[in-house]
Amino acid sequence: MNELVLRRQELVENPTARVPVCLCLDTSGSMAGPPIEQLNRGLQEFYAAIKADDIARYSAEIAIVTFGGTASQVTDFCSIDRQAVHGLAADGGTPMGEAVDIALQLLEQRKKEYKDAGVDYFQPWLILMTDGQPTSPWEPVADRTAKLADAKKLSVFAIGVGDGADLTVLAKFSPRRSPVRLDGLKFGAFFEWLSRSVTAVSNSTPGQEVPLPPPTGWTTV
Amino acid sequence: MPPPFQIPFGPDLRVFVDTSALMEPGADRSFETLAPELKRHGLKAIVPQRVIDELKKMTGSRGALAAKGLRILERLRQEGLLDIKGETDDGYVDNLFQAVFVRFRLKYSLLLITQDGALAQDVLSLNDANAVQRIRGIFAARVAGGGLQGWTSGEADRARPVRAPGQSGTAPVPAAIPSHHLVTQSAALEIVKTVPGLGDQVSDAAGRVHRLAKLLGTGGEGSAFLTDTGMVCKIYRADRLFRTRLEKLELMARNPVGHRAICWPTSVVRRSEGRVGYLMSAARGRELQKSVFVKPLLVQHFPSWRKVNLVQLAISVLEPIAQLNSRGILLGDINPRNILVASDSEIYLVDTDSYQFMGHPCTVGMPPFLAPDLYGKQLDAMLRTPEHEAFAVSTLVFMLMLPGKPPYSHQGGEDPAKNVKAGKFPYAVGDRKGKAVPEGPWRFQWSHLPRYMKEELDGVFTDGKPLGAAAWLDILVRYRNDLARGNVSNELFPTALKELNQAQTLKAGGRWVPCTACGKEFGLFEPHPQPLCNACKAKRVAEKAARELAAAPQPARARSALPSAPTRATPPRAAAPRAAPQRPAPPPPPAPPAPVDPLTAVIKWIASLFG
């Protein structure tokens, strides 16, 4: 069947409230070698974990934007079952600002699709991962992101990879939740935590803090 | 010797007979005496099909008594005095009479003939369960001395026997829990060095030792284990061992509800230094959310289900809830993750430690089941009301009828909590048209519900008058009967609106006119210069939607609006050559010739939804 039709059909026929998650991932040249390999493996495991959980499978929706040389959308939101995971390659500079800008657009667009169709959704999540410093202007986008987070219209999780990651920059994107540094290259542990956290959202009492699992196993303390 | 039992005859009396009464030596004489009286008052003896099944299954010395019981029934049948109700597999043997009595106690006066003192006590206790409405009168009697003798509350209690497994009746149930003042919940924790884990031993209140043999799952509060004694044991995380909750669990364990479907705490467990969790009976099945509330999972796990199975499931879920509610116990956090479904007539209520019980509040709850006035409230500092419970129950009923779809989902909606607070119920009822009805199959499923279901649901979600579990049971049983008789559609996933025939249309005040596009005759309810039948109307809508879809910007082409954003002309490189074939198409695509014209496909799909 036509992609457009299929996408629409799976949107309206699934009654589950969605949690749109946009992964905004650094694929710049400095990620080459073990980091990008571990990131790719972590992504594979992330998809596998979500597909294996009957709650996450029908509530989580994932889009991926990468920034390495250029900012670019790798996958758009659709049913997890139909999403293929692509191997990412590391190359070029770190246009983080542009990437987050694309991510915000994608999330905004998806929210509009939910609204128009009458599909319930939770506020979207933005996962921002970088191992360095932005190589192009990023402040205006950081401001917009921070405002959305402050208004509780977006949950931001900012993660630094390696010692070169500038957590002060990441903090500008994530005012409500301090950025954390990944412990070594434990992408797998992080994505495992993320897949469990997505499920927790749809199972939480309003007004109470979402009981996310403790971020043990992948953060440096 | 107490005086013989005076049957409270009247047109509203319903007489039920239990297995034990039919098997009592001398029962034949008692029923011979009873028969002419039943006849004189135009009554019948109501016997559940399952009682007959039970009698037929008995062997040995009990088999001889059972055979006599069956002969009694045969004589009643020949005289037209027997009414067999239910089916072989409906609901729980253990709680059948209780369930029936809870449901009908407002409508009829009810008499149960049974030798089982515990069962008698259980149904008699429904007389004083602090019900909001007046109960017509519940009576219990036993076969004795060629006639009947009445059970009285206290006597039945004293006579409480240990019942043989598999025999109908109910386990002991306490009378109504009196209303309580809020028990303030404190953050004080039970102090333990470590909480037990897999392989460790815990002991229950009676000192019996249980080993945690298998991990069943871990949640936000702790872990559940299967024990070597065949029970389930929940062990709390050290930072969730609230003393007030452990006290509530001890209270619950001392007041069993005796319903197989309710995984009630049977004992708090401790290690040497303190209390760490509680024991409950084991359950089976899959979470409602993971088995029924998403179409692919429903089709996967219950491929043969039709609408009637959903209605039966709703009845099976609401029965134990109605019984708890009738005793003043509120579930509070009703949701599709703590109801396990093994079949449409075997369900289990789990996570009972969160129930509101004897003044201990239920501190959690989730949209869309949480009533609108509860958002922003401190749930641990208040007691829920029966209305809050009724809202959750009504929402559950809606989401069983339109599997998984929350009642307040609507076009323009947002997150589940905001939708409940906005309170816009979008579906059409009677003359009122639907407004902002969610896209997809939901309107069809709604349209196929019988009118009385729609009106009751609309009363809940538009007029704000939620119905409790007992009231819903009446309505659902009526729906089940209508389905059994073929009066209403049994389609699980209808793909078109319900069509009325000519007679129905005229009766409902419509006109029977030809469609101006295809000529087929159909029911028209509002004057229209160019009347179109559903199919043709749907086609027009589909064509319009398809035009809009085709004109809308392709969502897969989002680009950064930042002026400095360089545009990548080539697709992202694959990390390894073998991943290359899976690479996504470069955005924006120089549209390759599509195998199917998208517009045609969209029209086809939307038209298929309208039939």
pLDDT, position B158: 46
Which residues on chain B are in Cβ contact (under 8 Å) with A5? 598, 601-602, 605
Average pLDDT over residues A82-107: 93
The pLDDT value given to residue A11: 94
Across the interface, whether the CB atoms of B576 and A101 are under 8 A apart is answered no
Between A and B, how many CB-CB pairs are < 8 A? 190
Q: Shortest CA distance to B111 belongs to which of B121, B96, B103, B101?
A: B101
CB contact under 8 A, A115 and B414: yes
Residue B562 and residue A137: Cβ atoms within 8 Å? yes
Among residues 87-106 of chain A, which lie with CB inside 8 Å of chain B? 87-91, 95, 97-99, 101-102, 105-106
Residue B584 has pLDDT above 60, yes or no: no
Enclosing domain of residue A156: 40-202
Residues of A in contact with B441 (CB under 8 A): 12-13
Out of B364, B411, B601, the one facing A2 most closely (by C-beta) is: B601
Q: What pLDDT, on a 0 to 100 scale, did the predictor assign at position B430?
A: 83
Q: Tell whether the model's pLDDT for residue B242 goes beyond 60.
A: yes
C-alpha to C-alpha distance for B265 and B245, rounded to whole angstroms:
12
Cα–Cα distance for residue pair B402/B128, rounded to 1 Å: 36
Q: Do B596 and A2 touch (CB under 8 A)?
A: yes
Residue A71 within any structural domain of the chain: yes
Which residue is closest to B419 within chain A, CA to CA?
Answer: A120
**A61 to A78, A111, B10, B419: CA distances (angstroms):** 6, 11, 62, 20
Beta carbons of A40 and B575 less than 8 Å apart: yes
| pLDDT of the residue at B322 | 95
Given B411, B441, B566, which is nearest A116 (Cβ)? B411
B293 touching A (Cβ < 8 Å) = yes
* Nearest Cα residue in chain A from B366: A205
Mean pLDDT of B95-112: 82
Q: Report the alpha-carbon angle A188-A189-A192, nearest 5.
A: 85
Residue A55 lies inside a defined structural domain of this protein: yes
Are A107 and A20 spatial neighbours (Cβ–Cβ below 8 Å)? Answer: yes
Average pLDDT over residues A31-53: 92
- Does a structural domain hold residue A3? no
Our CA-based measurement puts residue B580 at a distance from the nearest CA of chain A, in whole angstroms, of: 8
The partner residue sitting opposite A58, judged by closest CB among B294, B406, B572, is B294
Does A151 reside within a domain? yes
Query: What are B527-544's pLDDT values in tens digits?
Result: 788 888 877 877 787 777
Identify all chain B residues contacting A95, using CB atoms and an 8 Å cutoff.
Answer: 565-566
- Residues B574, A76: Cα–Cα separation, whole Å: 17
Mean pLDDT confidence for B476-505? 85
- pLDDT tens profile A150-203: 998 999 999 999 988 999 999 999 999 899 999 889 898 999 889 888 888 877
pLDDT confidence bin for A115, thresholds 50/70/90: very high
Does residue A220 carry a pLDDT above 90? Answer: no
pLDDT at B176 over 90: no
The whole-number pLDDT of residue B150 equals 85
Tell me which of B85 and B421 has the higher pLDDT. Answer: B421
**The domain that contains A92 carries what CATH number?**
3.40.50.410
Q: Is residue A18 part of a domain?
A: no
Q: Please tell me which of the candidates B364, B415, B566 has its beta carbon nearest to residue A205.
A: B364
B568–A207 CB contact, under 8 Å: no
**Does some domain include residue A140?**
yes
Residue B381 in contact with partner chain A when CB distance is under 8 A: no
Chain A residues touching residue B289 (CB < 8 angstroms): 54-55
**pTM of the predicted model as reported, rounded to 2 decimal places:** 0.72
Q: How many separate domains does chain A show?
A: 1
**Closest to A202 (Cα-Cα) out of B377, B289, B287, B396:** B289
- Between CA B447 and CA B611 the distance in angstroms is 13
Which helix (H) or strand (E) covers residue B147, if one does? strand B147-150
Question: What pLDDT score does B210 carry?
Answer: 97
Question: Would A131 be classed as within a structural domain?
Answer: yes
| Residues of chain B contacting residue A23, judged by C-beta atoms under 8 Å apart | none
Mean pLDDT of B411-426: 94
Report the range of poorest mean pLDDT among A57-61, A202-206, B170-174, B553-557. B170-174
For A18, name the nearest residue in chain B, comparing CA atoms only.
B415
How sure is the predictor about B160, in pLDDT bands with cuts at 50, 70 and 90?
Answer: very low
pLDDT at B459 over 90: yes
For residue A83, the distance in angstroms to the closest alpha carbon of chain B comes to 10
Q: State the Cα–Cα distance between residues B554 and A2, nearest whole angstrom.
A: 14
- B9 in helix, strand or coil? coil
**How much is the pLDDT for B88?**
60
Q: Assess if residue A9 is contained within a domain.
A: no
What mean pLDDT is predicted for residues B55-77?
A: 87
What is the end-to-end Cα distance of chain B in Å, rounded?
71
B549 touches A at CB < 8 Å: yes
What is the C-alpha radius of gyration for chain A, rounded to an integer number of angstroms?
16
Element (H, E) at B186: none
The stretches of B423-468 forming alpha helices (DSSP H) are 442-447, 451-461
- Ordered strands of the B147-150 beta sheet: B82-85, B45-48, B13-17, B109-113, B138-144, B147-150
d(CA B321, CA B312): 15
Q: Which residues of B touch A119 (CB under 8 A)?
A: 409, 438
Residue A133 distance to chain B (closest CA, Å): 16
ipTM over 0.90: yes
Chain B residues within an 8 Å CB radius of A39: none
pLDDT class of B86 with cuts at 50, 70, 90: confident
Q: Which of A3, A53, A64, A86 to mutate to test the interface with B (most CBs of B within 10 A)?
A: A86
Q: Do A89 and B440 touch (CB under 8 A)?
A: no
Residue B607 confidence (pLDDT): 52
